[in-house]
Structures are given as C-alpha cells and as structure tokens.
Structure 1
C-alpha cells in the first residue's frame, strides 16, 4: 500500500504536549496545515493572543509560534471542523492518575482519551490516521480501535499509531528540533505499516531517517512508561545515596561525579535534589505499578513503587531537616521558599517539591513567603489549596505570602529554602539577603546551587542536600 501524503493535521489538546509538538511540526512542514484544537476557550485565546502571551512557558516556543501562526498553524475551539478536515489526528489530551474507582491513585484516567476517540468516530466522514500522543497504558490503542471501528461510518477506515513524546520541560523545543529518537508504533499489518510510513514522512522533513524508529504498537506504548520510569529510578537512586552522604559526611556531588564518569552509567539524571516532580514521572511509574499488578506481577509492581516512595521520603526528609535545624520548631517563624515550579525553565508546577514542603511547613504553622519568576499567583493558590483540601484558602493565605522578588521574599525571614534551580538564584546578592534576615540566618539548598563555603563566610548557616557538614 502506498502511504498517504499528509497535507492536513489536527491536534486534539493544546497543552504541554500538543501545543509545542504541533507548533514545531507546522514550522518544519510549511506545506502541511496544522490546526490545534481545545475546548478550553481561554487557552485557545492565549495561543492566539496578539502579544503572544502563550498559556505555557517554554524557551523558544514563542519564536516558533510567531513564525508559523496564521501561515499554516492555527488554534481553534472548532474541534469538529478540524477533525473533519484532517487526514492525521494527534490525540494529545490529558491522562491524569485516577482519583476514584478501580485503580485510584495508580491507574491512568483514560476518560479524555475515550471521549476524544468517540468524537473522532462521530465526526469523521473519511478515513483517518489516529496517533496516540498522550502517555497511555500498554494496549490503549486496542481500546481506541474497538471504539472507532464500532462507531465508524461506511467507507471510513481508522489506522492507529503510537507516537509517544520524549520531551523534557524547559528544553522541549530543542528536543523537538533535534530529538534523540522519534518512536512510531503500528500494527504490523500492511495497512498499519503504510500509516506508519505516512507519519515517518512528516517527521522526515527535519528528522534524519536513522533517528526515526518504527516498532510494534505495544512496544511503543510501553517504551514511554519504561523511559520515564528508568529516569526517575536514577533520581531516586542518587537521592537515596544523598541520605547516606548526610549521615556519613560524604559529598553527594563527588559521589555522583565519580559514578557518572563510568561510561556504562553516564552522568545524566544523577544530580541529587529535594525530589523529582512534573507531569510524567510519578504518574507514569504509578501507571506501571498498576499495569504490573493487573498482570499479576506483584514483585515487579513493588520494585517500581519503591521509586515513588523514595521520592516522597526525600521530600519528607528535607522538610524534617529544616524543622530540626531551626531548634525543632518553626511555629510562627518566617521561611522563604525560592522556586515553586517543579524545575527551572518551565511554569509547570505539577508534583512540584515546593508544594509538599510548603504543605509541611503550614502544618507546623510557619509563615511562608514564596517567589518564583514564572509561576502565576493563581496557580500557586490553586496548588496549595489542592495540597490541603480540608483547609479553607482564606486560612492558607493568612500564613502564605506570594512575592515578586528574592529580596522581597527574604525580608525578615529566619530561613531560606531553594526549591527550584532557576538560573536567577545562582546570581542572588547573598550579602543583601543576609543583611535583611533575622539572625541566625539559615539557608537550605535543595538543588545544589550555592557555594556553601562562600555563604558561611557571609554569616549564613548553610545546609546542602547530600552533604553532612555541620552548620
């Protein structure tokens, strides 16, 4: 079968995956019309804003949208029209962890995937290639195919592909421009392979053929979960060693550098921190745990569950260290938390370590000031409310202040916590910060950003994660 030449693409979902991915597809494929759709009018309005005040922050994204929007890149809430016109449809909707019912707390909630699939079947009057872009459990494509075939109109054929994203927030545009690999899974039938080749041709406009890997559908779905689980496992492993370093006086930087110099291991994702966050790692590992238990593999499930448990332990251990160091009580004390995003160069706060730390400090009745250069105030209040659902927002706001600079956040505080590795925090005027803090002035570095010796010279009492030095 000759592969279909794709000229119109629709992306269902204008979030962190669909927006950047399809914006880059439009930039690199000027001959293809790309329409990104979402039911959220405010989100689409932000994508279409005249001043390019986009709904997500990602370095380089604005430049991509500026070049392609209005040429062959469009953002719309007219979902049906975009589906009707498209030959290839990316499904990039949210797949959060279930909050209730069977598999609550572990399984992926596929409600949005199913709704999107049913809408594709209901609207389509011609054959389509449907591409899973969302991170989904293994064999989700089988469910999608069943729905599509049961609801398709005469003469409509649907081929399903799996094309997981391997983007790191903060470097997503760079990752899309020059990916390590593009993975496309299909049924190993003539029709499936033909559909796969159609998507290969789209990516081949800028990605070398040798970096495009075509595999079976189920291998592609599992590869995404496996990649995130392995990366998170490395972080939990080095964080587990950081606890040993603190107890023995070893230096986690020196240990991770020594380990990372081994070519069999490599240096990436071996940087100790207060814990990993983001939209993928925890969700995908819990999904893998649930999948393992569903397949009656309890030992496998327990293995991967421990990665998440170690991450939770690292956050608890850090907040306890703060309380213990501040003379075993922080009630009424002022603490500055620098950083609220889960990592630098993104406004994403999902599973951010800062949320857990602040919740723990609130439980101790501390007074907290927060500064993050990119996270919106409304997002911070929403996250803190969700973290403490039994506490009214008005009560949270009595003890939490959102500020607009490092100096404002650290005025009259007794301790400073570095929770996100923003580049701005490497350039802080610590003399000015120290001058306006209560004394003794404590600094807790959860991201290995500061030079503790230099700060001790100023007068700070410094605690760095993964180092056992006494204050």
Structure 2
C-alpha cells in the first residue's frame, strides 16, 4: 500500500488495523516491521495520500477498493490441523466489509488463501451485504522479505484473477489500471479466480521444493566428498533449471513456504489426490530432516554430547534483511540443542531479545531450561567461552567477523558449524577451528564422527 501510494499520488490509500498500538507505530518514527527502503517510502507519502488509522469501519465504508491482508495461519486444531489454512480472520473481515458497506466495492484477496476461497467470500458478501454489489478479485503478492520494496517497484509480474463476467472483467480492469501506473502492461497477468489463488501456493511450493532438493543433495555431498556449491553451480548453468534458490543451508523458513506447501498438501488430499499430496508433503519432511541433521552433526562432532556446553548461535531471523523469525530454522536448531542440555547464546542484529525468548519459550518452559538461553549484544560476546559456533542466518557481518579473535576466546577444540556457507572454511581451519559447512567435504575430524542417528 505504501508503494501504491508512492506511485499513485492522486489515489488516497488508507491502511486500517484493529490494533491501535500497531497503527501508532506506523504513524511514528519506528515502524513495526523492518524492511529495507520501506521507512523512506512511508515517510515520503504519509500524511499526503497514505494514512494509517484504527478507524476501520469508516474507511472501509468509504473505500472503492478494499485489499484484505489479514493473517491466514495454519490450523492448530480441528479438521486439517497442521495443514489446512485457518480462514477465521478472513471470514471476520468479509462480514465486516459486508456490514458497513453502502456502496459497491471491489474486494481484493491479498492474503494467501486456499483455492476457491473467493467463492466462500462471495457468498458471505452476497448474503450480508444488504443488496450492495461486490466483486471479489485475487491479487496474490510475490514479493520477498528483505527485497520487498524493490520487488514492488519493479515486479516481475502482477497477477489479477477475477470472474469471467461483465462485472468481473470491469473489476479486473479497475485494478489493472492502478498497477499500470508504474508496471509495464505485459507484466500484468489476468486469470480466472481459481488460477490466481492456486498460482501463489504453487509458486511458494516450487521454491520450497528447490531448497529441499539442493539440501537433499547436500547430504549426499557430505557422504561422498562432493561440494554442493560446485554441484549447484554446474546444475544451475542449465537454462532450464537456473541458479536461483540452489544455495544449500540449514533449511527454509519464513511465513510462506511451509504454510503454503502444507496448504497445497491439504488441497490435494481433499481433491482425492494422495500421490500428489505425498509429493508435496515430502518437501516439508526434507526441510525438517535438514534441520535435525544439522543438530545431530553438532552433537556428534562435539564428542556426542553438548550437555553443559555453551553453543553460540549467530543469526535467528529466517534470512538476512529481515527481523522475521516465523518458522526460522534457528528456532528448531536451538530447541534441539536445548533438548540436549546445551547452553545457547544467541545473537542476531535485527531480532530483539524478547522475540528470541518468546520463540524459544515452548522448549524452555522449565526454569532450568530457560536459564540456559542467553541473548548476546554481539557475535563476540555470544562466542566467548563457547565450545561451538553455529551460523544460522547469512547476515553479511558474519562474513567479516574477526574469527581469530573469536577462536582465542573459545574452549578448545573450537568448532564452527556453518549452516549458511558464509565463512571461508580453509582460513578458519588454518586458525585452528574444526569447521563443518553444509554440503561441503568434511574435516578429517568430522569424517570419523558420523552424524548421530
């Protein structure tokens, strides 16, 4: 919405939310989320044609187009728990839109939703809209955290799905005209509603599948002495494959990949397609395996026990360029280490201590376990007195650390477990470190210590 306000200065954009503290933050100097370039865009348009308010109903009633961007988490109980999307927030929003509207509106799905959600929303609006005419469109977002502003300013595609009727086509054209103010028309794709809804799930599942595929190869590389970086570079030179999303690591995270892949699994199951469901389920299973394999490698390398040992964790966000920790691999790795009774010292340049403690609370519920989690002010503090260092987010600063200084302050032998392949393993070995990099040939030390079962 901020980018839309920037590119369409004659359109009034009002962002509404029921959380007044969140709205206050959007109106203040410290935005509630970190995204490179976003603060500058917000400050450029805020108070001109971009407004943030908790007066939800009044502004929804006045709007011509309503973008619904509510949370759509995975259900934790009931039918489809662990796979199906919980649409409670979406339904609540749709009922509110119907209740307060006195003029026709275009209602746009921005949240990632299961296929045919628009049909359910149409029914809610039709039965509760007091005769007001609504058109529902699907306009999924393909931005990535950390590069979102650039992705929006110059998108590779904008997807708009609508009904094949006169009113539906008019609604599609209305939204298309907004994007055409700054997006080349050949990048604006129009489809039917169901194709647009499914495209978002499919796109994220395909990307997740690429990550799981290269991580599966990384395990074989370690077993055979191959180098996953070299393999990925050779494979990625094939133009039919390409080189993006072929970086091996400790696993994918974020709010979308796992949730959307599991939603696709559930859609396949509900459509009577168990083989297709099993295929996509394995993408998530492979991601879980990669995280647990990393923990096993840490434990087995350090004489098959980390009990009572300090392990430094560098990076807690699911990737660099964001403070988002949703489904971050670091959470599962830390929980695995805590389960082995390690003392974990975490440092991340963009994640608060409160967030780290909150994410690790389920694993650290007992007082003794909670006391084994510390949050450091920098990487050197985190590593001081540690037996091992785990690099779990690819922040640029971790490439430039003084590892000789870090080595001097650690217990010996000093281990580095690089879950993002950011360090020069050869240089660190010359300093005296025992180094493990995902998918890379193992140290002689590590090759004699296979990962614990």
TM-score class normalised by the smaller sequence? over 0.9
Q: Is 1:27 equivalent to 2:6 in the alignment?
A: yes
Q: 1:71 aligns with which of 48, 51, 60?
A: 48
> Could you list the per-position Cα deviations for residues 10-58 of structure 1 after superposition, in whole angstroms to 9, with x for gaps in the alignment?
xxxxxxxxxxxx0111111100110111111221111111x2x111110
Q: Is 1:437 equivalent to 2:410 in the alignment?
A: yes
Which residue number in structure 1 is paired with residue 382 of structure 2?
A: 409
- What pairs up with 1:68-467 in 2 under 5 angstroms? 68-154=45-131, 156-386=132-362, 388=363, 391-392=364-365, 394-467=367-440
Separation of aligned partners in 2, 1:129 and 1:312? 40
Separation of aligned partners in 1, 2:89 and 2:162? 22
Deviates more, 1:332-341 or 1:37-46: 37-46
Which residue number in structure 1 is paired with residue 449 of structure 2?
A: none
* Alpha carbons 2:212, 2:286 under 8 Å: kept: yes
* Alpha carbons 1:98, 1:104 under 8 Å: kept: yes
TM-score by length of 1: 0.93
Question: What is the root-mean-square deviation in Å for CA atoms of aligned residues?
Answer: 0.8
* Alpha carbons 1:385, 1:393 under 8 Å: kept: no
* Alpha carbons 1:84, 1:125 under 8 Å: kept: yes
Separation of aligned partners in 2, 1:132 and 1:140? 9
Separation of aligned partners in 1, 2:367 and 2:182? 51
> Could you list the per-position Cα deviations for residues 141-183 of structure 1 after superposition, in whole angstroms to 9, with x for gaps in the alignment?
00000000000123x1100000000011100001000001000
> Could you list the per-position Cα deviations for residues 423-450 of structure 1 after superposition, in whole angstroms to 9, with x for gaps in the alignment?
1111111111111111111000000101
Deviates more, 1:106-115 or 1:39-48: 39-48
Q: 1:427 aligns to what SS in structure 2?
A: coil
> Could you list the per-position Cα deviations for residues 398-428 of structure 1 after superposition, in whole angstroms to 9, with x for gaps in the alignment?
0010011011111110100000001111111
Separation of aligned partners in 1, 2:369 and 2:146? 30
Separation of aligned partners in 1, 2:350 and 2:366? 22
Shift of 1:351: 0.5
Q: 1:184 aligns to what SS in structure 2?
A: strand
* Alpha carbons 1:334, 1:413 under 8 Å: kept: yes
Which residue number in structure 2 is paired with residue 41 of structure 1?
A: 20
Separation of aligned partners in 1, 2:256 and 2:236? 24
Deviates more, 1:334-343 or 1:40-49: 40-49
Q: 1:444 aligns to what SS in structure 2?
A: strand
Shift of 1:392: 2.3
Shift of 1:327: 0.4
Q: 1:257 aligns to what SS in structure 2?
A: helix
* Alpha carbons 2:361, 2:370 under 8 Å: kept: no
Separation of aligned partners in 1, 2:374 and 2:409? 17
Shift of 1:380: 1.0
Q: 1:35 aligns to what SS in structure 2?
A: strand
Q: 1:44 aligns to what SS in structure 2?
A: helix
Q: 1:250 aligns to what SS in structure 2?
A: coil
* Alpha carbons 1:246, 1:469 under 8 Å: kept: yes
* Alpha carbons 2:226, 2:440 under 8 Å: kept: yes
Separation of aligned partners in 2, 1:359 and 1:41? 33
Shift of 1:385: 1.5
Shift of 1:397: 2.9
> Could you list the per-position Cα deviations for residues 363-390 of structure 1 after superposition, in whole angstroms to 9, with x for gaps in the alignment?
110001000000111111111114x2xx
Shift of 1:320: 0.2
Which residue number in structure 2 is paired with residue 4 of structure 1?
A: none
